[in-house]
């Protein structure tokens, strides 16, 4: 089974007009800002055959969805006078991070979403529009909204004690996210922040999607160099200790993070919870990935292959993942058991900080 063989051709209801967001940051009066001259306080999108001029004032906040890298709360918003049009909306500062002035996360996020968010790949969240809010010096990015993030889904699933039979569900997740990561690879992009909160789920039909491209890396010769960038608990060993990969790291580091994320979703707890980078490196020297629920042998083998401490021992390409026994055994159509699980869990996920529909 391959991603190409199983991914259906889909038509989407939104036309996305992309602009050139990749201009460099410049300094004025000793303050570095992002210069985005092609983005104004409005943007035009097409919805159900009609053009809508979208402005910040038209984005009616419903509830908090989560938090992105260097962003305020990501909000679920309804477009004024269009109750059927909902978006995930996040605000990014037009100033670099105080913690790292050289980390132009706004520019990175825009550049990445421009390349991959057109809807070409159904397992990557779609990009609708970008609007500049000069009053708050923010860039507003409007994206596809999904039903839940996998960190919140997994938490509720374990609270409901519904994690007894996750085998096909986890295979589906790994197939969809590996498909998204392979698509990023064709654009020379490395996500670098794979974790359950950046994996989204839709229930009708069941589909997993990758989001948040604020700290992705743009590869040169299939390699990136920056080490400690991303959530520390999900960093591959070679990203914590550069001596393990002196020539840089590539897709195998995202594979490690995917394996750790699946392990966390399955067990309900991160295997390195509470550890810092040095402790993680010590732990994995003689580490066997722990599993607290029964899974098929082929799925365990796949997870363990992604979590080899030596990156050279992991799959070299995503095609190796797709051709693994675990992926070959995955039914093409979503099973009734998978659909029942998501229909049981998603309605029970509590709102964030009291925001409700």
Tokens of 119: 């809807």
- The CA-atom distances, in angstroms, between 43 and each of 55, 120, 131, 263 are 7, 21, 6, 41
The pLDDT value recorded for residue 55 is 95
Looking at the fold, whether 218 and 92 belong to one and the same domain comes out as no
Tell me the average pLDDT across 10-31: 40
The pLDDT value recorded for residue 106 is 75
Who wins on pLDDT, 50 or 289? 50
Looking at the fold, whether 194 and 322 belong to one and the same domain comes out as yes
pLDDT digits (tens, 9 = 90+) for 45-63: 999 999 999 999 999 999 9
Looking at the fold, whether 205 and 314 belong to one and the same domain comes out as yes
Tokens of 97: 């991070």
Tokens 């309804």 sit on residue = 78
Looking at the fold, whether 231 and 318 belong to one and the same domain comes out as yes
Q: What is the Cα–Cα distance from 96 to 32, expressed in whole angstroms?
A: 7
Who wins on pLDDT, 86 or 97? 86
Looking at the fold, whether 164 and 255 belong to one and the same domain comes out as yes
Looking at the fold, whether 130 and 162 belong to one and the same domain comes out as no
In this structure, what are the phi and psi dihedrals at residue 179, rounded to the nearest 5 degrees?
A: -65, -45
Looking at the fold, whether 114 and 157 belong to one and the same domain comes out as no
In this structure, what are the phi and psi dihedrals at residue 4, rounded to the nearest 5 degrees?
A: -65, -35
Number of Cβ within 10 Å of residue 234's Cβ equals 25
Tokens of 268: 């309900």
In this structure, what DSSP letter does residue 233 have? G
Task: Calculate the average pLDDT of the chain.
Answer: 84
Q: How long is the chain?
A: 357
Looking at the fold, whether 255 and 174 belong to one and the same domain comes out as yes
The pLDDT value recorded for residue 98 is 59
Looking at the fold, whether 137 and 172 belong to one and the same domain comes out as no
Stretch among 4-8, 123-127, 285-289, 330-334 having the lowest mean pLDDT: 4-8
Q: Whose CA is closest to 327, among 168, 122, 121? A: 168
**Do the domain assignments include residue 7?**
no
């Amino acid at each position: 089974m391959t991603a190409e063989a199983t991914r259906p051709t889909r038509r989407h209801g939104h036309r996305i007009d992309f602009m050139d967001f990749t201009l460099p940051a410049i300094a004025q009066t000793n303050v570095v800002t992002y210069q985005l001259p092609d983005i104004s306080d409005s943007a035009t999108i097409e919805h159900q055959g009609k053009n809508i001029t979208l402005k910040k004032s038209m984005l009616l906040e419903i509830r908090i969805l989560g938090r992105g890298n260097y962003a305020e709360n990501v909000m679920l918003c309804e477009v004024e006078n269009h109750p059927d049009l909902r978006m995930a909306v996040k605000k990014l500062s037009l100033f670099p991070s105080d913690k790292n002035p050289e980390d132009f996360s706004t520019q990175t996020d825009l550049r990445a979403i421009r390349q991959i968010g057109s809807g070409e790949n159904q397992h990557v969240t779609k990009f609708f529009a970008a609007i500049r809010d000069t009053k708050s010096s923010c860039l507003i990015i409007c994206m596809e909204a999904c039903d839940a993030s996998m960190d919140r889904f997994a938490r509720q699933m374990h609270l409901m004690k519904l994690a007894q039979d996750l085998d096909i569900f986890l295979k589906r997740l790994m197939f969809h996210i590996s498909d998204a990561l392979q698509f990023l690879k064709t654009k020379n992009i490395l996500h670098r922040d794979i974790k359950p909160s950046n994996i989204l789920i839709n229930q009708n039909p069941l589909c997993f999607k990758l989001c948040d491209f604020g700290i992705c890396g743009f590869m040169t010769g299939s390699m990136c160099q920056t080490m400690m960038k991303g959530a520390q608990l999900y960093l591959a060993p070679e990203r914590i200790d550069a001596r393990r990969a002196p020539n840089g790291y590539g897709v195998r580091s995202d594979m490690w993070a995917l394996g750790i994320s699946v392990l966390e979703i399955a067990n309900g707890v991160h295997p390195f919870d509470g550890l810092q980078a040095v402790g993680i490196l010590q732990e994995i020297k003689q580490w066997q990935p722990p599993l607290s629920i029964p899974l098929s042998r082929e799925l365990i083998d796949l997870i363990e292959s992604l979590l080899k401490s030596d990156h050279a021992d992991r799959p070299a390409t995503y095609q190796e993942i797709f051709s693994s026994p675990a992926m070959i055994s995955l039914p093409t159509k979503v099973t009734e058991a998978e659909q029942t699980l998501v229909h049981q869990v998603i309605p029970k996920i509590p709102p964030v900080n009291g925001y409700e529909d």
